[in-house]
Structure 1
Amino acid sequence: MRSILPSVGAVALCLVAGSASANSTGISGRSGKQSVSCTASGCHGGGGSTPTVTLEGPTALTAGQTGSYSLIITGGPGAKAGLNVATGGVDGATLTAGAGTKVVNGELTHSLPKAFASGAPVRFDFSLVAPATNGTLKVFAAGNSVNGDTKETGDAHANATLDVVITGGKDPVAPEEEGGGCSATSGAPLVMGAVLAMLAARRRRAV
C-alpha cells in the first residue's frame, strides 16, 4: 500500500504558500480600526525596528468631495512596505485605490509590497470620497516595513490616524428613544392634566 504522507505534505505546503502569497498581495482588517495588528496576520511576527507611519491629506471636506491622501512609511527593516487603510466614525466614505493599491472589503491595501529606494520613504497615494453625513470621519492606517526574506520574523509595523471633518451634508439622525420616542417624564404632565380636567368636570356637575 502506497503511503499518503508525501501527498499530505504537498497539500500542506500549498496551503502555507497560498496563505503567504495572499498576505503579500494585501489583506484587510489590519488598519487598527479593529484593534488587530499586522503581526496577527499570520505573515509578520515582528522583531524588526519600528517604522514611522504618517497620513497626509485634507482634514476637512464637504459632503461628496474627493480628497487626495498619502500614507508614508519611513524606516524599519526597510526592504519593502505594505499598508492597510480603513475609515470609521461616519458611514458612507469611499476609498479609491491609487498606484500599487487595491480595495478589499471596502478597505485599502497593497497589490504587491513596494520596495524602498535607497532608504527613501515609501509613499502610497489614494483618494477618499467624503460621506453624505456631517461629522468627524476617522482614517485608520497601518504601514508595514519588512526585511523581504519571506519569513515571519524581522518585520515591523506602526499605525496612524487622521480626523477629517465633514460639513455641507445632512446631519446625523439621533437614535429614537424606546417606547416610540415618548419618555415617561414627557408623558407625565399630559396624564396629570387629563386627571385634573376630569376632576374639575365632576365638581361642576356636583354644583
Structure 2
Amino acid sequence: MRSFLSSVGAVAVCLVAGSAFANSTGRAERSGKQGMSCASSGCHGGGASTPTVTLEGPTALSAGQTGNYSLIITGGPGVKAGMNVATGGLDGASLNAGSGSKTVPGGELTHSFPKTFTGDTARFDFSLVAPIVNGTLKVYAAGNSVDGDNKATGDAHANATLDVVITGGADPVDPVKPDEDEGGGCSATAGAPLLGAVLAVLAARRRRAS
C-alpha cells in the first residue's frame, strides 16, 4: 500500500512539473480578454519583479488593411519570454503569427517556443488584418518573463491592451430590440386613429338613439 501511494505521489509531481514544461509551447485564453491570467492557471507566478508589457503598432486601420504590431516584454526574471494575443470588440479580425509565435484555435496567438531575452527585452512581432466593419477593435496581450527552470515559481507576467479604430468599412447593424415594432403589431401611433374612429361611431349611435 505504501509503495502504491509513493508511486501515485511521484506521478502527481511529474504531472505538475510537466504542466509548466508543456506550456513552453504556448497557451490560449490568457491574454486578459477572458479575464484569466498566466498566474491564475498556476503556470507562472512568484517572480521577484513584474515585467512591463507594451503593444506597438497602428492605432487606426482601414477596413481589410493589414497592420504590423509588436508585443514587447521588458524586465522581470528576463531569461525566457512567452505571450498570448487576442482581439475583441469587433468580429472578423485575423491575427497572423510572426517569428516565435503560432496561431491557435479561436484565432489567438501564442508563443511556439520560449523566446530568449536580448538584454532586458523580448519582442514578438505579428500582423493583424482589420475587419470590414467600422468601430473600435481591441487587442489584448499577455507577456511572460520567466527564469527558464520549467517551474511555476520565479516567473512573472503582465498585460496590455491597444485600441485600433477601423474606418472605411460597413457600419455595424444594430440588432432589433424586443420592444421595437416590426410591422406586425399595434404601435401607439397606429392605435390612436383607430381609437378615434371607434369613439366617432359610438357618438353617432348615441345621437340616433336620442
Shorter-chain TM range is 0.7 to 0.9
Letter in 2 for 1:86: A
Q: Deviations over 1:24-83 (max 9, x none)?
A: 110111111122111112221233211111101111111111111000111111111111
**Residue matched to 2:66:** 66
**Residue matched to 2:146:** 146
- Residue 150 of structure 1 deviates from its aligned partner by 2.0
- Residue 196 of structure 1 deviates from its aligned partner by 0.6
Unpaired runs of 5+ residues, structure 1, are none
Structure 2 Cα separation of the partners of residues 89 and 103 of structure 1: 19
Contact 1:32–1:140, Cα closer than 8 Å, also in 2? yes
Q: Give TM-score scaled by structure 2 length.
A: 0.86
**Residue matched to 1:53:** 53
**Residue matched to 2:24:** 24
1:90 and 2:75 aligned: no
Question: Sequence identity of aligned pairs in percent?
Answer: 70
- Residue 111 of structure 1 deviates from its aligned partner by 0.7
1:100 and 2:100 aligned: yes
Shift >6 Å, 4+ stretches: none
Structure 1 Cα separation of the partners of residues 120 and 203 of structure 2: 91
Contact 1:48–1:153, Cα closer than 8 Å, also in 2? no
Unpaired runs of 5+ residues, structure 2, are none
Contact 1:87–1:140, Cα closer than 8 Å, also in 2? yes
Secondary structure, in 3 states, of the residue corresponding to 1:153? coil
Structure 2 Cα separation of the partners of residues 103 and 48 of structure 1: 30
1:115 and 2:119 aligned: no
Contact 2:102–2:109, Cα closer than 8 Å, also in 1? yes
- Residue 20 of structure 1 deviates from its aligned partner by 2.0
Letter in 2 for 1:87: T
Contact 1:53–1:143, Cα closer than 8 Å, also in 2? yes
**Residue matched to 2:159:** 159
1:37-48 equivalences under 5 Å are 37-48=37-48
**Residue matched to 2:134:** 134
Letter in 2 for 1:155: D
- Residue 7 of structure 1 deviates from its aligned partner by 5.1
Report the RMSD for the aligned CA atoms in angstroms: 2.3
Change (3 A) 1:153 1:16: closer
